[in-house]
Amino acid sequence: MNEPLHPSSLGEILDRTVQLYRSRFLVFFGIAVIPIAVVLAFAAIFFLAITWIGADGKTALSPAAVVLAVVFFIVLVLVALPVCLAVTALGTAALNHAVASAWRDEIITIRDAYKSAWQRGWSYIGLFLLETLLVWVTPFVAWFVLVFVGAGAAALAQSTGMGGAVAALVGLGAVLAIAALIGYCIWMLLRLSLAFPASVMERMSATAAIKRSFSLCLGTRGRIFLLYLLGMALNYIFSLVIMVPVLIVIALLPGANNPQNAASAGMVMVFTMYCAAFAIQALTKPVYGIALMLFYYDQRIRKEGYDIEWLMQRAGLAAPAPPQAQQLQQFTEPTQQASQESL
């Protein structure tokens, strides 16, 4: 990082994100491709199995075939879910390691980034599981409970002859609940957005990284929200750029409108959308990783004077204390003060 450190605006962070992405495009893209490829590979196996089972809609499956299909899908889910979660967590951590090295003008490869992530793999997996639980699982469970309670209330009202009024209240409550749960997801996502950078840079545990993210995000959640909105717009633009020409080509193919070729055209379209989703996610995921790491540095500069600490480290006037030493100091200082006061 040869530029002087200072608090940055959103535009400066985005500009620096583009510069870092362009300078090491193959490294960032390669890191992002691996977890996305694993997830999409399991998805492909799942949908191909469904297609194969339903290939002959005229022939009913035997009971043995149904049992075999159910067992296959259960095993597939039990294998795919932990593998996808682990690979995604390691990929996110590897991307943060690569961004930190690029920020320091160090050379890093895809292998080096994943090797650094592997050293603390369980911590990163635990952090990713906690983020998934807080952002996605909790509102889903809440929605399931609300649906169950609403269905019970509607059934009870129907039996007492008050179905119309209760149905209207249940519908209004469902709309308000959906809005509240969406707001919760956005709010929690913003609060956890700097957890992985904190865990990677300060070698924190999962719970400590979440608490650290809560404090660092104060004052910058609006800018991070704008980053996510820009990322969604970028995804939409990439989708149009990739899908529109493909759809035009498919429509212009000879016999594409023939009912006999409708199935083949549909399979081509699904395969194209599958590949487009893979390419778009691989291209845009590094944008979030780079920008969030830059937000982490920016918040530390604003709140903790990290720019002065960084200059002192580069000048050899100060050395970064190991995380274990910092934690030990936090526990020993109160003890020393208490002993001095007793003396």
pLDDT tens digits, residue range 120-177? 999 999 999 999 999 999 999 988 888 888 777 777 767 766 656 666 777 787 888 8
Dist. CA 138–CA 188, nearest whole Å: 11
The pLDDT, as a whole number, for residue 339 is: 44
Rounded to the nearest angstrom, the gap between the alpha carbon of residue 97 and the centroid of all alpha carbons in its chain is 16
H helices present in the chain, as ranges: 10-23, 25-53, 63-103, 110-119, 121-132, 138-159, 163-191, 195-202, 206-216, 221-252, 262-304, 306-314, 323-342
Share above pLDDT 90 across residues of the chain, in percent, rounded to a whole number: 41
Mean pLDDT of 224-234: 91
- Tokens encoding 41: 């590979």
pLDDT in tens, 94-128: 999 999 999 888 889 999 999 999 999 999 999 99
Q: How many CB atoms lie within 10 A of CB 309?
A: 16
Report the alpha-carbon distance of residue 173 to residue 146 in Å, rounded: 9
24 pLDDT above the threshold of 70: yes
Question: Of 42-56, 213-227, 268-282, which has the strongest mean pLDDT?
Answer: 213-227
Domain positions in the chain: 134-218
